[in-house]
Amino acid sequence: MLLQESLKSQTKDDSRHLSDEYSLIRAVHTAVKGRARFKVKGLHGSQDLKRYIELRLLNIDIITQVSANHLTGNVLVVFRPNFSLKAIASLLQDIVLDYRRVSVNLSRIAEPDIQIIIPPQLDKLNTQVILAAATATTFAFSAGLLFKYGLDESILLGLQRLHNPLLDQMMQSITFLGEPLPFLLISSGLGSYLWRYNRHREATGLGIATVGAIGLNFLLKELFGRARPALWDYLVNAVHYSFPSGHAMVSTAVYGYIGYVLAKEFPQWRRPILAATMALILSIGFSRLYLGVHWPTDVLAGYAAGLLWLIACIVYVEKC
């Protein structure tokens, strides 16, 4: 078999370099010789690809055990210890590429009693980009309506009625999560982790999301020069211009990007991760209104701008 001959020609290689060479395969656990776990792009949610991988790998005599999990996107491979991790990764990458090339009419793989229907590949990224862009447009349109009908002040005065010492303390704590210092610390820590494991594009995307959002927000504030509300004394420090809200914009870009990375890493927990991310971002925006340091239109515009910047960063990671 040609695949087996190519495997035997491979030499030992450091698993930390696999992510640079194989765009569809990433080694996630390689501590035990002759045993490796890989994250396979496109496996999450695809039982057809799960069966295809298992059938193909089990037909190769150097591999003794295969377990693909379509719920986590992981593949466990047990193989002869004298073969390199790079050889197994190369084989797995070829199998995934073969799967993507086969037509929807493919009916049988390896065993005659198993029929596999291959669904056409859908460009999920384009759908997500369209949805996010539509959401950003909705935020911007809503901000325009609030400004047109002069509802900013009425909303803030309504929120002031909710003030009490406990909520004051809670909102100050939540709003701190939208300050530049937490953004930079969290981004530096996660970025270093991603870079260490050769996930360079994701690490670079996080840096662009963070620094770019902070810098772009500063420029927009200087451009519009809108004064902050002065309806009551502030409980937090707020000295720069008001529009758009930096907390709303940067938290959308940074925490949104982190949520995207975590959802890719743990696809089985995708919904809880995205729900928690949205709750955090919305809480930070609400805290700015509760504390009276932003107009509602500032926050909505911040969400719109942050979402557009987040889209740009994700497209960079997925397409570059």
The residues annotated as belonging to the active site are 247, 294
C-beta pairs of 174-181 under 8 Å, 24+ apart in sequence: 174/283, 174/284, 174/286, 174/287, 175/236, 175/247, 175/284, 175/287, 175/288, 175/291, 177/251, 177/280, 177/284, 178/246, 178/247, 178/248, 178/250, 178/251, 178/284, 178/287, 178/288, 179/247, 180/214, 180/250
φ, ψ of residue 77 to 5 degrees: the values are -125, 125
Output the CA angle 209-215-220, nearest 5 degrees.
115
**Residue whose token pair is 């926050």:** 299
φ, ψ of residue 108 to 5 degrees: the values are -140, 135
- Helix orientation angle between 200-224 and 296-319, rounded to the nearest 10 degrees: 150
**How many Cβ atoms sit within 10 Å of the Cβ of residue 251?**
29
Residue 105 tokens read as 């009419």
